[in-house]
Amino acid sequence: MKLLGIMLPLLVSLSLLSGCGEKEKFIVYGSPENEKEVEAILKEQKFVDKTTVIQYDNSMLVAVQIKPWDKWKKTKLEKKLQKKFDEKYPNKDVFVSADYKIFYEANKIKREQVEDNKLKDKIKKLKNLAKEET
Amino acid sequence: MEKEQYQQLEQNVTPKPPYFKNVAKAFLVGGLICTIGQAVSLFYMIFFDFTEATVGNPTVATLIFFAMILTGFGLYKKIGQFAGAGSAVPVTGFGNAVVSAAIEYRSEGLVLGVGGNIFKLAGSVVLFGVVSAFFIALIKFILVTIGVVSW
């Protein structure tokens, strides 16, 4: 019972805290070209919760966070989005990821306003990271 | 006293186990362990180069390390008494089973004591895990070869 007495207030405070996390849900960093279009594509998908898009030169990194119940089909939805972007921008190098790590790093790039020459290396590193399997 | 009579008597005397309370305790403690695990995996993702796909291994190792320390200090059995399955089903329960066996047989020596008995409790988990993984992989391989599903 003692444990219960410690845990209950903790759980309640945790659930209260999570309510304060409402922030911008759609973020674009880099060149603002066709920002509206990308936003429209992502908003169209009901399973997308938050997104951060990074654009540089001719490529695009799309980091999405999927809503909780849809996370069961994460890889499938990721592939679906990738296909959609590939169709829409056939001459652009688009990389879609639903991984939390990629999303976190993308937000960090936005927050720290990373320079263009470093951006390229960083995104290359992220892409390699996302492909790791074990 | 007849056999049936005795059974009747025994059933009358035995107190009813508080199922609902046990389930609630197991749910809360198991959930707490899993929350800690989630926190550990977030820690590895934010401060190290792990993705959601690769973060599982270090998280499991860390949780087993926690369970090892708790077992060594004799705290895990208290959690186990309180929560039952809530503390046995997560990977920490497996770590506890290995470490407690190692501690128990330490007095019989390192090779025949610890080495021979460390998997006394957890060995069946390892064995059946490996065997069932082998058969599942075999079934999937056959299905892929026929062309029913893809990898």
Q: Give pLDDT tens digits for B113-143.
A: 999 999 998 999 999 999 999 999 999 999 9
CA distance B80 to A33: 58
Put simply, the answer to whether B29 touches A101 (Cβ < 8 Å) is no
More confident residue, B76 or A88: B76
**Residue A5: inside a domain, yes or no?**
no
Across chain B, mean pLDDT equals 92
Chain A positions in Cβ-Cβ contact with residue B29 (cut-off 8 Å): 3
Flag whether A9 is in a domain: no
Mutate to test the interface with B, among A8, A14, A101, A132 (most CBs of B within 10 A): A101
| Chain B CB within 8 Å of residue A44 CB | no
Write the Ramachandran bin of A61: left for phi over 0, alpha for psi from -120 to 50, otherwise beta.
beta
Contact B28 A4 (CB under 8 A): yes
List the structure tokens of B112. Answer: 């025949």
If you count residue pairs, one on A and one on B, with CB atoms under 8 Å apart, how many are there?
32
Please check whether residue A114 lies inside any domain of the structure.
Answer: yes
Residue A20 has what pLDDT?
47
> Is A6 within the bounds of a domain?
no
Out of A3, A101, A134, the one facing B52 most closely (by C-beta) is A101
Most distant pair of Cα atoms in chain B: their distance: 70
3-state secondary structure of A54: strand
**Cα–Cα distance for residue pair B14/B7, rounded to 1 Å:** 10
Question: How far, in Å, CA of B32 to CA of A29, rounded?
Answer: 37
Show pLDDT as tens, one digit a residue, over chain A (134 residues): 555 566 665 555 655 555 444 456 777 777 777 777 788 888 888 888 888 888 887 888 889 998 888 888 888 888 888 998 888 888 888 888 889 999 999 888 888 887 777 888 888 888 888 887 76
Overall size of chain A counted in residues: 134
Torsion angle defined by CA atoms of residues A69, A72, A74 and A76, in that order, rounded to the nearest 10 degrees: -120
SS3 readout for B45-97? HHHCCCCCCCCHHHHHHHHHHHHHHHHHCCCHHHHHHHHCHHHHCCHHHHHHH
CB-CB under 8 Å, B52 with A134 = no
Domain of A51, in residue numbers: 22-131
- 8 Å CB contact of A134 and B51: no
Backbone dihedral angles phi then psi of residue A100, each to the nearest 5 degrees: -65, -35
| Amino acid type, B9 | L
- Tell me how close the Cα of A29 comes to any Cα of chain B, in angstroms: 20
B84 φ, ψ to 5°? 60, -125
Residue A3 has its nearest CB partner, among B45, B54, B82, at B82
Buried (b) or exposed (e) across A114-123, using 16+ Cβ within 10 A?
beeeebeebb
Interchain CB distance below 8 Å, A7 and B32: yes
CB contact (8 A) between residue A101 and residue B51: yes
What pLDDT is recorded for position B75? 94
**Strand A26-30, strand A59-66: pairing:** unpaired
* Whether A99 and B51 lie within 8 Å, measured CB to CB: yes
Report the Cα–Cα distance between both ends of chain B, in Å, rounded: 64
Q: Is position A17 within any domain?
A: no
pLDDT tops 90 at residue B92: yes
pLDDT value at position B126?
92
Q: Is the pLDDT of residue B109 over 60?
A: yes
Q: Does residue A64 sit at the B interface (CB-CB below 8 Å)? A: no
**Would you say residue A75 lies in a domain?**
yes
Residue A3 domain-assigned (yes or no): no
Instruction: Note whether A104 contacts B: Cβ–Cβ < 8 A.
Output: yes
Note whether residue A69 is domain-resident: yes
Chain B interface test: which of A1, A2, A3 (most B C-beta within 10 Å): A3
Angle between the N-to-C axes of helices B76-83 and B91-104, in degrees from 0 to 180, rounded to the nearest 10: 130
- Structural domains counted in chain A: 1
Q: Do B46 and A134 touch (CB under 8 A)?
A: no
Q: Per-residue pLDDT tens for B8-37?
A: 888 889 888 899 999 999 999 999 999 999
A132 touches chain B (CB under 8 A): yes
**Torsion sign, CA atoms A113, A116, A121, A127:** positive
